[in-house]
Structure 1
Amino acid sequence: MHTHRKFCNLVLYTLSAVALGAGLAHAKELTVTSFGGDYQKGQDEAIFKPFTAKTGITIKQDEWNGELAKVRAMVQAHAITWDLVDIETAELVAGCDEGLFDKIDISKIGSPDDFVAGGTNPCGVATAVWANVYAYDSSRIGSMKPSSAADFFDTKTWPGKRGLHKTPKNVLEFALMADGVKPDDVYKTLATKAGVDRAFKKLDTIKNDIVWWEAGAQPVQLLASGQVVMTTAYGGRIWTAVHKDHKPYATVWGNQIYDMDWWAIPRGTPHKDTALELIKFASQPSVIKNHSKWVGVGPAIKAAIPLVDKETLKELPTAPENLKDALANNAQFWADHFDSLNERFQAWLAK
Structure 2
Amino acid sequence: MKPENRDYSLSRRQLLKTAAAGSATLALAGLAAPTIARSQPTELMVTCGGGDWLELLKKAWYNDYAKVGIPINPQPYKGLAELKAMVEAKAWGQADIVLGSAGDAAMAQAMGLSEPIDYSIVDKSSLLAGTYDDNYIIVDVAASVLAWNTDAFPAGKEPKSWTEFFSPDLKSPRGLFKGSNQTLEIATLSRGIAIKDLYPFDITKALDVLQKVRDSIAWYEGGAQSQQMITSREVDLAMLWINRADTLVQDKRPVNYTPTNTVLDGDAIIIPKGHPNKDAAMKFAAYMASPEPQARLTNLVALGPSNTKAIPLCDPARLARTAMDPKYASTNRFQDFKWLAANADKLNAEWNKWLLG
Shorter-chain TM range is 0.7 to 0.9
Distance 2:203 2:196 in 1: 16
Does the Cα contact within 8 Å between 1:148 and 1:253 map onto a contact in 2? no
Give the partner amino acid of 1:127. Answer: V
Q: In structure 1, what is the Cα distance between the partners aligned to 2:308 and 2:333?
A: 17
Q: Please point out which of 317, 321, 335 is paired with 1:315.
A: 321
2:115 equivalent among 102, 105, 114:
102
- 1:162 Cα deviation from its structure 2 partner: 0.9
Q: Which residue of 2 aligns with 1:35?
A: 49
1:93 aligns with 2:93: no
2-side partners of 1:166 and 1:251: how far apart?
20
Matched residue of 1:233: which SS? strand
Counterpart pick for 1:73 among 77, 85, 88: 85
Contact 2:182–2:263 at 8 Å: present in 1 too?
Answer: yes
User: Which of residues 223, 242, 267 in structure 2 aligns to 1:216?
Assistant: 223
The Cα offsets for residues 162-215 of structure 1, whole Å up to 9 and x where unpaired, read as: 111222332222122111110111213x2xxxx344323333432222112222
Larger Rg: 1
Flag structure 1 segments of 5+ consecutive residues without an equivalent.
1-22
> With structure 1 as the length reference, what TM-score do the two structures score?
0.83
d(CA) in 2 for partners of 1:338 and 1:25? 39
Query: Structure 1 residue 336: deviation in Å?
Result: 2.9
Distance 1:70 1:312, change over 3 A: same
The alpha carbon displacement at 1:257 in A equals 1.3
Is the contact between residue 146 and residue 252 of structure 1 (CA under 8 Å) also seen in structure 2? no
Q: How far apart are the structure 2 equivalents of 1:43 and 1:241? A: 20
**Which is richer in strand?**
1
Question: How far apart, in 1, do the equivalents of 2:110 and 2:209 lie?
Answer: 34
Over the matched positions of the two proteins, sequence identity in percent amounts to: 27
TM-score, normalization: structure 2?
Answer: 0.81
| Alignment of 1:142 onto 2:151 | no
Describe the SS at the equivalent of 1:254: coil
Whether contact under 8 Å (2:148, 2:230) holds in the other structure is yes
Deviations 1:293-348 (A, max 9, x none): 22221111111123211111111121122223223212232223333344433444
User: Any conservation in 2 of the 1:174–1:255 contact (CA below 8 Å)?
Assistant: no
Number of the residue aligned with 1:296: 302
Measure how far apart 1:93 and its partner are.
1.8
Distance 1:318 1:168, change over 3 A: same
- Does 2:334 align with 1:328? yes
The question of 1:206 aligning with 2:213 is answered yes
Distance (whole Å) between structure 2 residues aligned to residue 209 and residue 126 of structure 1: 35
Q: Distance in 1 between matches of 2:305 and 2:259?
A: 17
Deviation at 1:269, TM superposition (A): 3.0
8 Å contact kept, 1:38–1:294: no
Q: Deviations over 1:203-253 (max 9, x none)?
A: 34322221122222221111122111101121122223333x442321122
- Residue of structure 2 in register with 1:14 after alignment: none
Counterpart of 2:350? 344
Which of 38, 54, 61 is matched with 2:74 structurally?
61
Alignment of 1:116-135 (within 5 A): 116-135=128-147
**Rounded Cα–Cα distance in structure 1 between residues aligned with 2:176 and 2:104:** 23
Q: Distance in 1 between matches of 2:54 and 2:356?
A: 39
The answer to whether the 8 A contact 2:102-2:138 is kept is no
Cα shift at 1:270: 2.9
Tell me what 1:12 maps to: none
Partner of 1:248: 254
Structure 1 residue 24: deviation in Å?
4.6
- What displacement does 1:258 show? 0.7
Q: Secondary structure at the match of 1:32?
A: strand
Q: How far apart, in 1, do the equivalents of 2:311 and 2:323 lie?
A: 10
